[in-house]
Structure 1
């Protein structure tokens, strides 16, 4: 599990390798990741945008961005948590993802919240800490 806190917004990420949906012989690997966004502040916030950087084991980088997450722009009340699950395909057996969310406060201020960098590994992948 990976966790970060930016401006009283806690992001927790739990990636999971999906062996049943992956085809290693075809260089197709798939992960799901569940993200919990906890509003630790005293005002409601709205998730407006997401931005991801995905890097596979060969160093190939892909940028993904867009409005909301999984088709939603959730409003998260103080003390509440919004959770969703999405997925990521790679052509290698490991990689990393990092990103951010653009949030909007009740007063209309927009600010960026860091998503902690997380590792996408198959159970057989050798993990190396840098």
Structure 2
């Protein structure tokens, strides 16, 4: 698990290689990741957008941007958390991801960026 804290917002990520959905001989590697966003600040915040940088050993870096996370734009009161699971396909069994959540403080409308810490995508047979 990797963890980063920005402006009182903690982001932690756990990665799982999905061997049953992967086909290494066809250069298809599937990973899932669980993200937990915890509001450790004293203000209510909303996640508006996200931007991912995905690097694959077999190809050039990809940028993925969009509204919210898995169709939601969660509002987090102080002390609350939001978790979700998503996935990523790579052409190799080695890669990494990192990113930014674009958030807003609901009290004053100030927008701020929250770091999504870089995490490794490594197919399990590379770890043996």
TM-score interval for Structure 1 and Structure 2 normalised by the shorter chain: over 0.9
Match status 1:108 vs 2:114: no
Instruction: Give TM-score scaled by structure 1 length.
Output: 0.95
CA deviation profile, 1:63-90 (whole Å, cap 9, x unmatched)? 0000000000000110011000000000
Q: Which residue does 1:119 correspond to in 2?
A: 120
Q: Which residue does 2:52 correspond to in 1?
A: 52
Q: Which consecutive unaligned segments of at least 5 residues does structure 2 have?
A: none
Q: Which consecutive unaligned segments of at least 5 residues does structure 1 have?
A: none
Tell me by how many angstroms 1:58 deviates.
3.0
Instruction: Give TM-score scaled by structure 2 length.
Output: 0.96
Count matched residues: 127
Structure 1 stretches of at least 4 aligned residues deviating more than 2 Å after TM superposition: none
C-alpha contact (below 8 Å) 2:59/2:91 kept by paired residues: no
